[in-house]
Structure 1
């Protein structure tokens, strides 16, 4: 994810009450890829991006969030 997507992810995490720190993979390159970590300490942090994305996707399905599908109208 880029910086803009990371900001959206951080907002989503806060709104859903999910712990996680959204930060660049390489702290010296904020224009590079961003990930979700369990801590703000670069020396001790663990990448939890995949876990968080799984939780967020699962929540959107159970809370009536957007899903793919078709809308079929009866022409009557």
Structure 2
């Protein structure tokens, strides 16, 4: 993902309460690819981009199954 999308992802994970740090793959190339990591420590961090994007995608999909509410029969 690029820097623009990375900022949107960072905002979204913050709103959802997901822990993660969004930063460039290569700190010397901020205009390159960005990833989501489990911590800011470059020596010990783990890439969690795929996991986070899956959670975000799952939360943004409309509900397709049953929902709570009333069933009102059609009148004939």
Same fold (TM over 0.5): yes
Gaps of 5+ in 1: 65-76
Is 1:44 the equivalent of 2:44? yes
Gaps of 5+ in 2: 65-76
- Aligned-partner Cα distance in 1 for 2:18–2:62: 16
Higher relative contact order (CA 8 A, sep 6+): 2
Partner of 1:22: 22
Partner of 1:69: none
Alignment of 1:1-76 (within 5 A): 1-61=1-61
Residues 9-61 of structure 1 show CA distances to partners (whole Å, capped at 9, x for unaligned) of 10001111111100000011101000000010000000000000111111112
Structure 1 stretches of 4+ with a deviation exceeding 4 A read: none
The count of corresponding residues between Structure 1 and Structure 2 is 64
Highest Rg: 1 or 2? 2
